Amino acid sequence: MDSLSSISEELAEIDGQISDIFRALSNGFQKLEKIKDTNRQSRQLEELTEKMRECKRLIKDFDREVKDIERRNRPDINRMLNEKKQSMIRELNSYVALKKQYASTLGNKQRVDLFDGPAGGEGFGQENALLASSMTNQQLIDTGNQMMDETDRAIERSKQVVEQTIGVGAETAAALKAQTEQMSRIVNELDSIHFSIKKASKLVKEIGCN
């Protein structure tokens, strides 16, 4: 069987690039199985999806080159090239299916996380046990309303804390102002006493001179 390089250097180069991507996809999905964090899983899946897009583009290039040279090839060569292209498509489709499976599982996990209630919260036990994808529209609406109510209560609690903090700050400022005014009065009184002492000392000296 003729090698690809003897048929077309461009076909051989494209085939090498596609083989590299298939190896990267195989390793990437093996790595994905070991990742537990959903955010990291999402990023890894995005990287693999990008590689699949690149592989699809290369297969199209391969097919285009096969059609360009098929007139000068023997029938058995053209059959071999078409079978190789079909093999590439099947392998890529297997990774696409695997990606859809992971994306579906990951999507369900993220939707469950979205509907998790606050730690120790009440009223979320039933929602936590249900996948969002299996909920009815009314269940989704009810769960959303509960989440918004809880958010409103959290905001209200935060507002109360802020108001209390402002109140304490105002009381502290008022106390400092009162202390400052008191200190000012004390300073003024000390100045008056000092002036009176100087005046009395001067009078004593004048009396002594007489």
For 104-119, write each residue's pLDDT tens digit.
Answer: 877 655 554 444 444 4
What pLDDT sits at residue 187? Answer: 75
In a domain, 64, yes or no: yes
The CATH number assigned to the domain holding 29 equals: 1.20.58
In a domain, 180, yes or no: no
In a domain, 162, yes or no: no
What pLDDT sits at residue 139? Answer: 58
Residues 38-64: tens digit of each pLDDT: 888 888 889 999 999 999 999 999 999
For the chain, what is the domain count? 1
The three state secondary structure string of the chain is CCCHHHHCHHHHHHHHHHHHHHHHHHHHHHHHHHCCCHHHHHHHHHHHHHHHHHHHHHHHHHHHHHHHHHHHCCHHHHHHHHHHHHHHHHHHHHHHHHHHHHHHHHHHHHHHHHCCCCCCCCCCHHHHCCCHHHCCHHHHHHHHHHHHHHHHHHHHHHHHHHHHHHHHHHHHHHHHHHHHHHHHHHHHHHHHHHHHHHHHHHHHHHHHHC
